[in-house]
Amino acid sequence: MKVCIAEKPSVAKDIAQVLGATQRKDGYYEGNGYQVTWTFGHFCTLKEPHDYTVQWKSWRLENLPMIPPSFGIKLIENEGVKKQFKVIERLVAACEEVINCGDAGQEGELIQRWVLLKAKCNVPVKRLWISSLTENAIREGFQKLKDSEKYNNLYAAGSARAIGDWLLGMNATRLFTKKFAQQKTVLSIGRVQTPTLAMLVQRQKEINAFLSEEYWELKTIYRDTEFTATIDRIKAEDKAEKGLKYLEGFPFTITSFEKKEGKEGNPRLFDLTALQVEANKKYGYSAEDTLKYVQNLYEKKYVTYPRVDTTYLSEDLHPKIPGILQSMTYYHQLTEPVLAKPIPKSKTVFDDTKVTDHHAIIPTEILPSGLHVKEEKKVYDLIARRFIAVFYPECKVSNTTVLGKAGQVAFKATGKQILEPGWKVVYANDTKKDNEEEKLMPVFTEGESGPHEPKVHKGKTTPPKPYTEATLLRAMETAGKQVEDEEMREMLKDNGIGRPSTRANIIETLFRRKYIEKKKKNLFATQTGMDLIDTIQNELLKSPELTGDWERKLRMIEKGDYEPALFKEELIKMVTDLIQEVKSGNFKPISIAVTGETAASPPKEKKAKPEIQIDTLNCPKCNTHKLIKGNSAYGCSNYKVCGFKLPFSLYGRILTANQMNELINKGMTRKLKGLVTENGVLQDGKIRFDESFHTVIA
């Protein structure tokens, strides 16, 4: 008898039907020489600290670091898990061969290997490795079963990842919690979670520190076309007005007219991150929700395996593409032009060197029916249209650049036209919107001259944009680097932080821990998140680039190019050094932020009396200019010269308007309770200004 172990009951049922194992038993299917059973996700986990020694049950600084001599696994404490595991254990003990039918990825391999290890499997093991759950894919997969040993490196990488997360997570979480937490707060630290939070905090600080400045630009209208002066932005209105008067004294002359035809390359097929980014941008879906929708589509056999990080197809898929396109009858108007010609075997789509375990996410030949969940329909539509679009011609455009001058001031105008939409036909509504936004420019002649309408445009500098889930996912994928070019992003994926399948969970963990919050589509760090990152001095722990280096090593383990033991040794050294460093550190205690409490929007204390408007007061330092309200502080409206800034939150307290009024007008607040000193000590005291107008506790 051969025992097949799938990762879910629904997948086991599909496999059993293909194999002819039609007899339903308690916890498995049987028939035709096969027994098909299942797990339901993780059955085993690494042992907890107290499983190694009773003294590790208590959270004490003196017990750190916790480094087990060897790592063990145990069953998850769940009655359903225990019951199903007994079924697997009994079947494995009596069979002649096991076929690992787990999810065909690193996490799936780890889940199955741990179960087989716990079940003391000592019979040969084969591996079913498929990219979709259609009947044809399952049948083909069983005809080409692999030896389990082929995936030993994949298991080694999964195991090293789990051990690394345990070493850092268990030790650092206890370390920071016992050293810095108050009010029974648990400060969660993670190998991927912490650098992700650090990126959000850094962006938050840039936004908070930003002071908007006014600027003026010179523009002019010539032949119904708006030109902008190519000089630097003007910082003073009177200079802009002088510039305007100067321009009024000269005609406008065209110095250059250049029209170039170009191409806009086809979009890439989706990997999981790109799909999550697109779904967030277009529909506002969270990364976790998009993963759930596409996983459901995969299990319904409508799309291929989704937890992938490549945007390419393997070359052996090329002959199957026409059949998939023909099956997509809902999109026949879009597929007909593609099927009218042979499908090109372009290297931007088909490249074996860019595909490891799985290819990009594409539709299967199974036509979706009964898709009642509208979100799943929309995600399927994204995948389907992207799949069709890659086989269309490139989009041809015309880019126009016009240079001119009035007197000695140079001007520039640009425009774009779509000449042949190519792949943009697949996105008809989006293309229509693009066409409406295009600037259709007249033809100009070099040397022509005439009257124009100069004007002054007043603007304000804007702060950096907050992260959305889409931009955060891209930042995680590229270890914090801002990369637009798709080829460059592909090159940086080996150094991204987290894996495509885990990034959504990391973001959700930050929400659950109240380290970040969402306002509309934007993500903000809470005060707790900011305090935590400020407390962490170890750059390795919070640097996206350095954490990306660990991810690169894990991928090298997967390829057999790096030793798991060496990776473990490096993490043990890092954890040991971190503990020694933090034990001697001194920072203020950290408590969990109330939901909605971000540095960008501090909570207001309720007042019986109306609050004083601080931005009606004069700056206490220069006593000339008014105060203005920023995201996290009040500042002098002449900040660049004066430099005065007063944060909303001082020494662990968010000051009320009345307290700020006292400080600004009298130079000192009344006595306040529970102030937190720079050394993390709680004390009562008054906040006052020193001679440089910095705050101190009196």
Closest CA to 470 of 629, 268, 277: 277
Q: Which amino acid is at 493?
A: K
Q: How far apart are CA 32 and CA 17, in angstroms?
A: 11
Contact 310, 356 (CB under 8 A): yes
Token couple for 491: 């090159």
> Would you tell me how many other CB atoms lie within 10 Å of the CB of residue 77?
8
Closest CA to 629 of 606, 604, 666, 610: 604
Closest CA to 552 of 507, 499, 502, 488: 499
Helical segments of 586-656, H only: 639-642
Q: Is 305 an annotated catalytic residue?
A: yes
Environment class of residue 333 by beta-carbon count within 10 Å: exposed (0-12), middle (13-18) or buried (19+)?
Answer: exposed
Strand (E) positions, 7-114?
A: 23-25, 28-31, 34-38, 44-46, 73-75, 97-101
Strand (E) positions, 321-468?
A: 395-406, 409-420, 449-450, 453-460, 467-468
3-state helix/strand/coil string of 415-442: EEEEEECHHHHHHHHHHHHHHHHCCCCC
Name the active-site residue from 29, 298, 305, 515: 305
Q: How far apart are CA 510 and CA 515, in angstroms?
A: 5
Token couple for 516: 């970040």
Backbone angles phi, psi at 86, to 5 degrees: -60, -35
Q: Which amino acid is at 29?
A: Y
* Active site residues per annotation: 305
